[in-house]
Structure 1
């Protein structure tokens, strides 16, 4: 797995993010630090600097229905779901198509909660139960994952199905370039 730099925001990444969201409303460093303290995490770069200095959510993508503000969830997330726990490690390190998994449904259901609710923040939705997550804890910290009703997969050229760079900046660059998510 290609490592994404989650500790330092590179100037090229920040320039690309500013270009993609020129009219963004940033959250500010105090609010970012308060969110991190409340949830027991440190957001991975360059997303951390993006939210603090460039843009905290946008009605334009990515994804198709817009980029969610840091502390919010998409409208179609649903009520009555378990509380999200970003400080718990994200449980996956490889794609998982649970609709094809031969295990009993009860066993799969028990494993799904952490996939949706642990170790990530939800960046937004493309509709139809397809959500984009930024992993904030665990081995895939800094990577983007697509989680849908059928399964979950990491985003980036190293994982297949796309020519995009891994990580938040690569995900935004790919979208800003007008490319379909899965262009391979």
Structure 2
């Protein structure tokens, strides 16, 4: 077992230390606690990926000054105010359907054909972390091949975040996304050209 491994929530101690530094309690909502996190997971048929899981249980359940531009990091069970009224279609236990970026605005198929696929991308297998406004949402994938990765889903397409996908930032997943925001203050889409 790695010496940096923290038994609580199965997150690496260094990641948790960085998250605690990025989300000071005086600027954040209180954590949910493990019982509430386990209840959420049971109700949705999922296990949240760490270190996000430990963050909402032990550090904070959202932070208005967090990574997303409009509302910061929103609470676990919340959706951004501009999400829309039809929230019952979200099924976290269904696998997130993508493994590579998809710009549906450029997809040659008729919209009627791709509309159900777009709905799956927005509503299946992820929790929403926040919004940058104008229909741009940050998602943490909780089920499927990209479990633990961060995706930006907008009205024109969806793209994964992290070095493996052409971004300059070293980190991936939730910890990398937060580190990018907390330490670099570079634009989110700092793709290497």
Bucket of the pairwise TM-score, normalised by the shorter protein = over 0.9
Separation of aligned partners in 2, 1:119 and 1:159: 20
Q: CA deviation at 1:22?
A: 1.1
Contact 1:136–1:142 (CA under 8 A) maintained in structure 2: yes
When the two chains are superposed, the root-mean-square deviation of aligned CA atoms in Å is 1.4
Q: Which residue number in structure 2 is paired with residue 54 of structure 1?
A: 59
Contact 1:82–1:117 (CA under 8 A) maintained in structure 2: no
How many residues get paired?
A: 179
Q: Which residue number in structure 2 is paired with residue 158 of structure 1?
A: 164
Distance 1:179 1:164, change over 3 A: farther
Q: Does 1:140 align with 2:146?
A: yes
Q: Which residue number in structure 1 is paired with residue 16 of structure 2?
A: 14
2:39 to 9, 34, 41: 34
User: Unaligned 5+ residue runs, structure 2?
Assistant: none
Deviations 1:153-182 (A, max 9, x none): 000011013424110000000000122212
Q: Does 1:126 align with 2:128?
A: no
Q: Which residue number in structure 1 is paired with residue 173 of structure 2?
A: 167
Q: 2:10 aligns to what SS in structure 1?
A: coil
Deviations 1:21-62 (A, max 9, x none): 011311110100000000000000000000000010111121
TM-score of the superposed pair, with normalisation by structure 2: 0.89
Q: CA deviation at 1:132?
A: 0.2
Deviations 1:100-156 (A, max 9, x none): 000111011121111000000000100000000000000000000000001000000
Q: 1:108 aligns to what SS in structure 2?
A: helix
Q: 1:35 aligns to what SS in structure 2?
A: helix
Separation of aligned partners in 1, 2:87 and 2:38: 26
Q: Does 1:95 align with 2:101?
A: yes
Separation of aligned partners in 1, 2:162 and 2:93: 23
- For structure 1, which segment, 88-97 or 58-67, has the greater mean C-alpha deviation from structure 2 after superposition? 58-67
Contact 1:164–1:171 (CA under 8 A) maintained in structure 2: no
User: Unaligned 5+ residue runs, structure 1?
Assistant: none
**Which structure is higher in RCO with an 8 Å CA cutoff and minimum separation 6?**
1
**What stretches of structure 1 move > 6 A for 4+ residues in a row?**
none
1:76 to 76, 79, 82: 82
TM-score of the superposed pair, with normalisation by structure 1: 0.93
